[in-house]
Protein backbone atom coordinates (compact mmCIF):
# COMPACT_ATOMS: atom_id res chain seq x y z
CA UNK A 1 0.00 0.00 0.00
CA UNK A 2 1.60 3.36 -1.01
CA UNK A 3 2.56 5.42 2.02
CA UNK A 4 2.80 2.45 4.39
CA UNK A 5 6.15 2.29 6.17
CA UNK A 6 6.94 -0.95 7.97
CA UNK A 7 9.98 -0.95 10.29
CA UNK A 8 12.65 -3.33 9.03
CA UNK A 9 11.21 -3.13 5.51
CA UNK A 10 10.49 0.35 4.08
CA UNK A 11 12.18 1.84 7.15
CA UNK A 12 15.63 0.30 7.47
CA UNK A 13 16.41 2.08 10.74
CA UNK A 14 15.44 5.06 12.88
CA UNK A 15 17.54 7.47 10.82
CA UNK A 16 16.03 6.36 7.50
CA UNK A 17 13.23 8.96 7.11
CA UNK A 18 15.18 11.14 4.67
CA UNK A 19 15.47 8.14 2.35
CA UNK A 20 11.79 7.26 2.84
CA UNK A 21 10.65 10.79 1.89
CA UNK A 22 13.43 11.37 -0.64
CA UNK A 23 14.49 14.59 1.06
CA UNK A 24 15.40 16.05 4.47
CA UNK A 25 12.62 18.18 5.94
CA UNK A 26 11.23 18.97 9.41
CA UNK A 27 9.27 16.01 10.75
CA UNK A 28 5.79 16.21 12.31
CA UNK A 29 4.53 13.01 13.98
CA UNK A 30 1.05 12.16 15.26
CA UNK A 31 0.37 9.14 17.47
CA UNK A 32 -3.09 7.52 17.35
CA UNK A 33 -4.72 9.46 14.50
CA UNK A 34 -7.71 7.11 14.47
CA UNK A 35 -10.24 8.25 11.82
CA UNK A 36 -9.25 11.87 12.15
CA UNK A 37 -7.73 14.03 9.39
CA UNK A 38 -5.59 16.47 11.41
CA UNK A 39 -2.27 15.16 10.08
CA UNK A 40 -3.53 15.12 6.48
CA UNK A 41 -4.54 18.76 6.81
CA UNK A 42 -1.13 19.57 8.28
CA UNK A 43 0.54 17.82 5.34
CA UNK A 44 -1.54 19.82 2.84
CA UNK A 45 -0.84 23.10 4.66
CA UNK A 46 2.89 22.45 5.07
CA UNK A 47 4.33 20.95 1.89
CA UNK A 48 7.80 21.90 3.16
CA UNK A 49 7.48 19.45 6.09
CA UNK A 50 7.18 15.67 6.27
CA UNK A 51 4.49 13.93 8.32
CA UNK A 52 4.36 10.49 9.94
CA UNK A 53 1.17 9.07 11.44
CA UNK A 54 1.48 6.26 13.99
CA UNK A 55 -1.59 4.06 14.47
CA UNK A 56 -1.91 0.45 15.53
CA UNK A 57 -5.39 -0.18 14.07
CA UNK A 58 -4.89 -1.45 10.49
CA UNK A 59 -8.34 -0.34 9.28
CA UNK A 60 -7.67 3.23 10.39
CA UNK A 61 -4.26 3.11 8.72
CA UNK A 62 -5.89 2.01 5.47
CA UNK A 63 -8.49 4.78 5.62
CA UNK A 64 -5.75 7.34 6.38
CA UNK A 65 -3.64 6.27 3.39
CA UNK A 66 -6.66 6.21 1.05
CA UNK A 67 -7.44 9.77 2.07
CA UNK A 68 -3.78 10.81 1.65
CA UNK A 69 -3.76 9.33 -1.87
CA UNK A 70 -7.06 11.05 -2.82
CA UNK A 71 -5.55 14.36 -1.70
CA UNK A 72 -2.36 13.69 -3.67
CA UNK A 73 -0.17 14.16 -0.59
CA UNK A 74 3.44 13.08 -1.07
CA UNK A 75 4.72 14.30 2.31
CA UNK A 76 2.82 11.91 4.58
CA UNK A 77 3.39 8.30 5.61
CA UNK A 78 1.74 5.85 8.03
CA UNK A 79 3.66 3.74 10.52
CA UNK A 80 1.30 0.86 11.42
CA UNK A 81 2.78 0.05 14.80
CA UNK A 82 2.27 0.81 18.48
CA UNK A 83 3.45 4.07 20.01
CA UNK A 84 5.87 2.03 22.08
CA UNK A 85 7.60 0.59 19.02
CA UNK A 86 7.44 3.87 17.09
CA UNK A 87 8.96 6.00 19.85
CA UNK A 88 11.38 3.33 21.01
CA UNK A 89 12.81 2.26 17.65
CA UNK A 90 11.64 4.34 14.69
CA UNK A 91 13.03 7.85 15.24
CA UNK A 92 16.61 8.99 15.76
CA UNK A 93 17.61 11.36 18.56
CA UNK A 94 16.51 14.98 17.93
CA UNK A 95 14.65 13.99 14.72
CA UNK A 96 11.09 15.17 15.41
CA UNK A 97 10.01 18.84 15.33
CA UNK A 98 6.41 18.36 16.43
CA UNK A 99 4.70 15.46 18.17
CA UNK A 100 0.89 15.43 18.45
CA UNK A 101 -1.20 13.08 20.59
CA UNK A 102 -4.93 13.80 20.66
CA UNK A 103 -7.30 11.94 22.95
CA UNK A 104 -5.15 8.91 23.75
CA UNK A 105 -7.17 6.11 25.34
CA UNK A 106 -7.95 7.38 28.88
CA UNK A 107 -8.08 4.02 30.72
CA UNK A 108 -10.33 5.60 33.39
CA UNK A 109 -10.22 2.78 35.97
CA UNK A 110 -7.39 3.08 38.50
CA UNK A 111 -6.31 -0.52 37.98
CA UNK A 112 -5.93 0.14 34.23
CA UNK A 113 -4.10 3.46 34.55
CA UNK A 114 -0.77 1.75 33.89
CA UNK A 115 -1.93 1.26 30.29
CA UNK A 116 -2.03 5.00 29.62
CA UNK A 117 0.40 6.21 27.00
CA UNK A 118 1.80 9.17 28.93
CA UNK A 119 4.12 7.48 31.43
CA UNK A 120 7.77 8.09 32.38
CA UNK A 121 9.02 5.91 29.49
CA UNK A 122 6.97 8.06 27.07
CA UNK A 123 8.47 11.26 28.50
CA UNK A 124 11.99 9.83 28.13
CA UNK A 125 11.46 8.83 24.51
CA UNK A 126 9.78 12.12 23.60
CA UNK A 127 12.65 14.02 25.21
CA UNK A 128 15.05 11.91 23.14
CA UNK A 129 13.35 12.25 19.75
CA UNK A 130 12.34 15.94 19.88
CA UNK A 131 14.62 18.58 18.40
CA UNK A 132 15.98 21.24 20.78
CA UNK A 133 13.08 23.56 19.88
CA UNK A 134 10.58 20.73 19.35
CA UNK A 135 7.11 20.71 20.90
CA UNK A 136 4.64 18.14 22.17
CA UNK A 137 0.89 18.75 21.74
CA UNK A 138 -1.57 16.77 23.87
CA UNK A 139 -5.34 16.88 24.39
CA UNK A 140 -7.70 14.87 26.56
CA UNK A 141 -11.21 15.11 27.96
CA UNK A 142 -10.24 13.05 31.05
CA UNK A 143 -9.21 15.25 33.98
CA UNK A 144 -7.29 12.49 35.86
CA UNK A 145 -5.32 11.80 32.69
CA UNK A 146 -4.71 15.54 32.21
CA UNK A 147 -3.28 15.61 35.74
CA UNK A 148 -1.11 12.58 35.00
CA UNK A 149 0.20 14.21 31.82
CA UNK A 150 1.15 17.39 33.70
CA UNK A 151 2.76 15.39 36.54
CA UNK A 152 4.72 12.97 34.37
CA UNK A 153 5.96 15.58 31.93
CA UNK A 154 6.68 18.12 34.66
CA UNK A 155 8.75 15.54 36.57
CA UNK A 156 10.66 14.78 33.36
CA UNK A 157 11.65 18.43 32.95
CA UNK A 158 9.16 19.49 30.30
CA UNK A 159 7.78 23.03 30.42
CA UNK A 160 4.06 23.58 29.93
CA UNK A 161 3.49 26.48 27.53
CA UNK A 162 -0.25 26.91 28.09
CA UNK A 163 -2.32 28.03 31.06
CA UNK A 164 -3.99 25.14 32.87
CA UNK A 165 -7.76 24.66 32.74
CA UNK A 166 -10.25 23.56 30.12
CA UNK A 167 -9.64 25.15 26.74
CA UNK A 168 -12.49 27.14 25.28
CA UNK A 169 -11.18 27.19 21.75
CA UNK A 170 -11.03 24.35 19.29
CA UNK A 171 -7.64 22.68 18.93
CA UNK A 172 -4.56 24.85 19.04
CA UNK A 173 -3.88 24.41 15.38
CA UNK A 174 -7.42 25.29 14.29
CA UNK A 175 -8.66 21.72 14.01
CA UNK A 176 -10.98 19.83 16.35
CA UNK A 177 -10.34 16.09 16.02
CA UNK A 178 -13.20 13.60 15.76
CA UNK A 179 -12.91 12.85 19.46
CA UNK A 180 -12.76 16.52 20.36
CA UNK A 181 -15.97 17.12 18.39
CA UNK A 182 -17.63 14.11 20.01
CA UNK A 183 -16.76 15.12 23.57
CA UNK A 184 -17.67 18.77 23.01
CA UNK A 185 -21.10 17.71 21.72
CA UNK A 186 -21.52 15.76 24.98
CA UNK A 187 -20.51 18.79 27.05
CA UNK A 188 -17.20 17.40 28.28
CA UNK A 189 -14.32 19.68 29.28
CA UNK A 190 -11.41 19.56 26.85
CA UNK A 191 -7.83 20.06 28.01
CA UNK A 192 -5.19 21.08 25.49
CA UNK A 193 -1.56 21.05 26.51
CA UNK A 194 1.63 22.16 24.80
CA UNK A 195 5.10 21.32 26.11
CA UNK A 196 8.69 21.86 25.25
CA UNK A 197 11.59 20.09 26.86
CA UNK A 198 13.28 22.22 29.53
CA UNK A 199 17.02 22.35 30.33
CA UNK A 200 18.14 21.99 26.74
CA UNK A 201 21.41 23.91 27.26
CA UNK A 202 24.31 22.01 25.76
CA UNK A 203 22.21 19.83 23.48
Ligand X SMILES: C[S@@+](CC[C@H](N)C(=O)[O-])C[C@H]1O[C@@H](n2cnc3c(N)ncnc32)[C@H](O)[C@@H]1O
Q: Looking at the annotation, which residues are catalytic?
A: 105
* Residue 82 engages ligand X in binding (rule: CB under 6 A): yes
CA dihedral of 62, 67, 70, 73, whole degrees rounded to 10: -100
| CA–CA distance, 85 with 75 (Å, rounded to integer) | 22
H or E element in which residue 193 lies: strand 191-197
How are beta strands 191-197 and 158-160 bridged, if at all?
Answer: antiparallel
CB 147, min distance to ligand X, A: 18
Number of residues that bind ligand X (CB under 6 A): 20
Quick one: which of 127, 192, 116, 191 has its CA closest to 153? 127
- Per CB under 6 A, the list member of 64, 179, 183, 195 interacting with ligand X is 179
Nearer to ligand X (CB atom), residue 39 or residue 95: 39
Choose one: 6-14, 61-69, 172-180, 189-197; the region binding ligand X (CB under 6 A): 172-180
Binding marks (x or -) toward ligand X, 114..153, rule CB under 6 A?
---x------------------------------------
Choose one: 62-70, 100-108, 165-173, 190-198; the region binding ligand X (CB under 6 A): 100-108
**C-beta neighbour count of 183 within 10 angstroms:** 19
| CA–CA distance, 66 with 89 (Å, rounded to integer) | 26
Nearer to ligand X (CB atom), residue 137 or residue 179: 179
Amino acid sequence: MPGLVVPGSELAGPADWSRVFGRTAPLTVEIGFGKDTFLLEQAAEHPDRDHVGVERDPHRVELFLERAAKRGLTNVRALPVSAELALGSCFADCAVHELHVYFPDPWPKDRHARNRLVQPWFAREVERVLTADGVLFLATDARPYRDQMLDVLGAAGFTSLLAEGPSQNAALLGHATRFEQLWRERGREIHHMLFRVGGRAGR
